[in-house]
Amino acid sequence: MPTLYLNSKLLLLKTTLINKGLVAKLKSTGIYMLVPVVNFIVSFTTSPIFAKHLSAEEFGYYGYYNTLTTFLLVFSSLSLQTYYMSIFFKEPEEQRKAIQTTLIVFTLIWNLVFFPIAYLGIYLYLRFSHSQIPFFPFALLALVTSILGIFKGFVQINYRLGNQSVKYLIIVSGYRVLGILLSLYFVVYAKMALEGRMLGVFIVEFAFFIISLYTIFKGQKITIQKAVVKIAIRKLLPLLPASFLFWPLMSYDIIVVERLNQPVQMGLYNIGKGIANYLYIALFSFFQAFEPDIYKYASTYNLKALRKTGLLITALVVVTILFYWLFSPLLIQYLTAGRFNGAIQYSNILAVTYGLIIIYSVLDAIILAWQNTKANLYFNIIGASLSFITYTLAAKYYQQQGVAVATVLTHLILVSVLIIFITRKLKQYNGAATMQSLN
């Protein structure tokens, strides 16, 4: 009887702890989900205000420099954050902090060298390509802001992987809210137009840069462990080509649109792409919810469940795009204060592209679940090559709308190639399984 009583008490205690852990996990997940919600609400409510005070050309310049700095971020960051995430749970806390300090100091020194090279490179490219994009002060603000953001990223990793959801919400959404509010002040009240838009983000980024360094260096000896740097660079060098190859698929269209030297249409294209990106953010969150299942079903070759999951996500993509087409005129009219309805034609086409990117992500997850990294690299090469060729030709013969259509065709071809590859792999597996059962 005492044993039965003790066992029941232990079972009750265990159940209570599990329930508390589940509640804590749900609470933490809810806080993390607030990040995209807060960011979306802030962007959605302030977009019409920016639209009233910025021209289509300025939206084009802003999108262009965002695209350019995203490309340069591959080299300024050297993907060291990826390495830090890979050792986060492997190293003891003290050693992990020492590694982080080393990576931060190395990144600081590296960017003292990289920044002037990149800045000069932008200047020479704009000058010798006879671009209509203004160089100063936009290139300076965009490039410095991008580099400063690297260090905030390390702190975000600490909070996200360390399950400090409240701090993660504050640093991510706090940065977003403050950046937009300060930009609104410079744009609306100081009448600084695009310069004010970028200056507001730069000031907030600089403040978070100082806070990030203080947080990281607090209580740490500021040194560089050469062995840590060598290991990190050796492990990350193979990732740099893959990162570079993925960029053209997502961003090269902005570069070729700029080369057409039609600033107004470039601005409308950027506006349309930015608004269609809301659809992508929503769909990608849905994909992430199913991503663990995709990895599980693919790695265990549960073909029936894998097919159902893939069809469910594809159906959702199709329905969402149809709804977007239906309401995009009203959405764009609101977000642009009725000034840039010309962006609708681009946004509707690019919404299809973003839908195909979600389907591509599902197929890519299957390949990664099989640990076929070589195939992943080959498909990135195919995608990059296609985008360079199709976007350039489309711009030459069919202008901005042609480029938008080219993004759809490129991703459609890439998705088709992945489907063929995965289907063949599954047939090979079924054949091997059948032979094994016969033997």
* pLDDT in 10s for each residue of the chain, 439 residues: 455 555 554 455 545 544 455 455 556 667 766 777 888 889 889 999 999 999 999 999 999 999 999 999 989 999 898 888 878 888 899 999 999 999 999 999 999 999 999 999 999 999 999 999 999 999 999 999 999 999 999 999 899 888 888 898 899 889 999 999 999 999 999 999 999 999 999 999 999 999 999 999 998 888 899 999 999 888 887 667 767 777 788 889 999 999 999 999 999 999 999 999 989 988 887 887 788 788 888 888 888 889 999 999 999 999 999 999 999 999 999 999 999 999 999 999 999 999 999 999 999 888 888 877 678 778 888 999 999 999 999 999 999 999 999 999 999 999 999 999 999 988 887 766 655 665 5
Closest CA to 321 of 363, 297, 353: 353
From 190, 209, 236, the end of a domain falls on 236
Judge residue 364's burial from the number of C-beta atoms within 10 Å of its C-beta, 0-12 exposed, 13-18 middle, 19 or more buried. buried
For the beta carbon of residue 9, count every other beta carbon within 10 angstroms: 10
How far apart CA 272 and CA 278 sit, in angstroms, is 10
Exposure class string for 38-77: b at 16+ Cβ within 10 A, else e: bbeebbeebbeebbebbbbbbbbbbbbbbbbbebbbbbbb
Same domain, 204 and 303: no
Same domain, 80 and 120: yes
At position 185, the amino acid (one-letter code) is: Y
In a domain, 299, yes or no: yes
In a domain, 157, yes or no: yes
Q: What is the pLDDT of residue 14?
A: 47
> For tokens 């462990």, what's the residue?
225
Judge residue 292's burial from the number of C-beta atoms within 10 Å of its C-beta, 0-12 exposed, 13-18 middle, 19 or more buried. exposed
> For the residues of 135-155, what is the DSSP string, one character each?
-TTHHHHHHHHHHHHHHHHHH
Q: Give me 437's structure tokens.
A: 């059962």
From 212, 236, 260, the end of a domain falls on 236
In a domain, 149, yes or no: yes
At position 142, the amino acid (one-letter code) is: A
Q: What is the pLDDT of residue 79?
A: 86
In a domain, 224, yes or no: yes
Q: Give me 439's structure tokens.
A: 């033997």
Where in the sequence is the domain holding 102, given as residue range(s)? 1-236
Residues 133 and 126 sit within 8 Å (Cβ to Cβ) = yes
User: How many structural domains are present in the chain?
Assistant: 2
Contacts of 86 (CB under 8 A, 6+ apart): 235
Q: What is the pTM of this model?
A: 0.86
Same domain, 24 and 77: yes
From 180, 207, 236, the end of a domain falls on 236
Residues 290 and 309 sit within 8 Å (Cβ to Cβ) = yes
Same domain, 271 and 322: yes
Exposure class string for 153-180: b at 16+ Cβ within 10 A, else e: ebbbbbbbeeeebebbbebbbebbbbbb
Same domain, 365 and 412: yes
Contacts of 98 (CB under 8 A, 6+ apart): 220, 221, 225, 228
Closest CA to 227 of 112, 108, 95: 95
